[in-house]
Amino acid sequence: MTTTVLLRSGIFAGPLFVAVFLIEGFRRPDYDPLRHPVSSLALGEAGWVQTADFLLAGSLTVAFALGAHRALRRHETKTWGPSLIAIWGAGLLGAGAFLTDPVGGYPPGTPAVPVHASTLGTLHDLLSLIGFAALVAACAAFARWFLRWHRRAWAAYSAATGAAFVIFVLLATGGLAQTEPLAAVGGLLQRTAVVIGWAWITALAVHLLRRTHDDAGG
């Protein structure tokens, strides 16, 4: 695929992922988006929708990472950013491949906190954690890259995204572990982190796509 097509994958990945989990969360009668994590949408009869959402968003993200690598290579610049974004995409693929354990009483009849973590649930959490860490590292890598190119606003935005993502993920982790008073908003905190991260990736994809078009026009 061309670099342009690959970069466009990064524009669509985040909005698609967010739209699906918002719609699915709204239409599930026993699901509380404020309390329950996105991954819990993969449980139950309609769970295949969220699983497909993870797999499609992960594939699009890996494609975008390849496009970002090509776009930056044209300028003979080196950054770990694209590789780290690819790891974030791989984490999404892993999250889709391995089902999470029930948490927060969803699906109905399950305990608020699982007594014993399953193998699939452990793999889901581990791969998700690796993906989260890679996204934060990608923000830091691109912040340094933008500073080298004297794009201070982009550097600040990238750094702020990484910091905010970490804060909301930590708060969400406490909430999803049913720690009061965060338990009632654990899902909302996680969604806030996810939207912050996806917004940065989408904006970055738009920026690199415009840069590639400008280079082609010049």
Per-residue confidence (pLDDT) for residue 116, from 0 to 100 = 84
Q: Kindly tell me the number of DSSP H helices and DSSP E strands found in the chain.
A: 6, 0
What is the rounded CA–CA span in Å between residue 93 and residue 49? Answer: 14
Residue 217 covered by a domain: no
Q: Is residue 157 part of a domain?
A: yes
Counting as low any pLDDT under 50, the low residues of the chain are: 218
Q: Tell me what pLDDT residue 149 has.
A: 87
Residue 35 domain-assigned (yes or no): yes
In the chain, the number of structural domains is 1
Give the residue among 54, 88, 56 at the shortest CA–CA distance from 165: 88
pLDDT at residue 37, as a whole number: 96
Which pLDDT score, from 0 to 100, does residue 114 have? Answer: 79
Residue 155 domain boundaries: 3-212
The verdict on residue 187 lying in a domain is yes
Query: Is 218 within a domain?
Result: no
Q: What was the pLDDT predicted at 1?
A: 66
Which pLDDT score, from 0 to 100, does residue 218 have? 43
Question: Which tens digits make up the pLDDT trace of 29-56?
Answer: 899 999 999 999 999 989 999 999 999 9
65 in a structural domain = yes
Three-state secondary structure call for residue 79:
coil
